[in-house]
A and B are shown apart, each in its own frame.
Chain A
Amino acid sequence: DSGVTQTPKHLITATGQRVTLRCSPRSGDLSVYWYQQSLDQGLQFLIQYYNGEERAKGNILERFSAQQFPDLHSELNLSSLELGDSALYFCASSGSIEREGPTDTQYFGPGTRLTVL
């Protein structure tokens, strides 16, 4: 158990809909990362938040957005869903340099499997 939790485990929805995925990082971790894993694209970085602020962006679509709340949990919002958005979505967290030294190891949650019909 990595200490990172994600809800829901599975999500089935229709095209055009909007969903919210939730991630709770390990206790005390300041950084939250979101990754998408689809069959044809592999694991891809979407976005990172650090202590409530957006820190880095990857290949995240404009239809997707995320935020990190004061209690450090994060949500990934996916809107106007398309069939191609079906994928596993993983959240990872890591501590601060002050806490863990300079290596910033990321620990992953179990993921949310999104199916768009």
Chain B
Amino acid sequence: DAKTTQPPSMDCAEGRAANLPCNHSTISGNEYVYWYRQIHSQGPQYIIHGLKNNETNEMASLIITEDRKSSTLILPHATLRDTAVYYCIVRPLRRGGNKLTFGTGTQLKVEL
């Protein structure tokens, strides 16, 4: 599976957009980009995923560069409850499912 690189930590003011970058320069054509987050020892929470097009859901937007070597997760209006570790994961699809390989993620701290 492709390796990802994320900054270890970021700060964001409440109400502002949080832009979390992820580098995945060795991504293959059949690999999706997934984002999860983990709030203080709770179970990881799925946020969004994409292949090559930008994606948006009720939680966030995912912007994938045209060459697919990097992506950005955008939380449009961060709140204190968005403070968490955010994981960017790249994985191929396999019939019957495939494991998630977690890195160290980005610790996002949202402050007043």
Q: Which residues of A contact B (CB under 8 A)?
A: 2, 4, 30-31, 33, 35, 42-45, 48, 50, 55-56, 58, 88, 90, 92, 94, 96-97, 102-111, 113
Contact = CB atoms under 8 A, between A and B. Distances in A.
Nearest to A93: B97
A47 to B, nearest CB: 9
B68 interface: no
A39 to B, nearest CB: 11
Given A42-B104, A43-B102, A103-B32, A108 B43 contact: yes
Contact of B43 (A55, A90, A94): A90
23 contacts: A2-B43, A4-B43, A30-B97, A33-B97, A33-B100, A35-B100, A43-B38, A44-B102, A45-B99, A88-B41, A90-B44, A92-B44, A92-B100, A94-B97, A97-B95, A103-B49, A104-B93, A104-B97, A106-B97, A106-B100, A108-B44, A108-B45, A108-B46
A41 to B, nearest CB: 10
A45 B91 CA distance: 13
Given A55-B96, A58-B99, A105 B43 contact: no
Contacts of B101: 45
Interface of B: 32, 34, 38, 41-46, 49, 87, 93-104
B105 to A, nearest CB: 9
A42 B42 CA distance: 13
A48 B97 CA distance: 9
A104 B93 CA distance: 8
A102 B43 contact: no
A35 B104 CA distance: 15
B62 to A, nearest CB: 13
Residue with the highest number of chain A CB atoms closer than 10 Å, among B43, B87, B94: B43
B98 A56 contact: yes
B102 A55 contact: no
A62 B10 CA distance: 39
Nearest to A113: B41
A44 B42 CA distance: 15
Given A88-B41, A108-B45, A111-B41, A103 B93 contact: yes
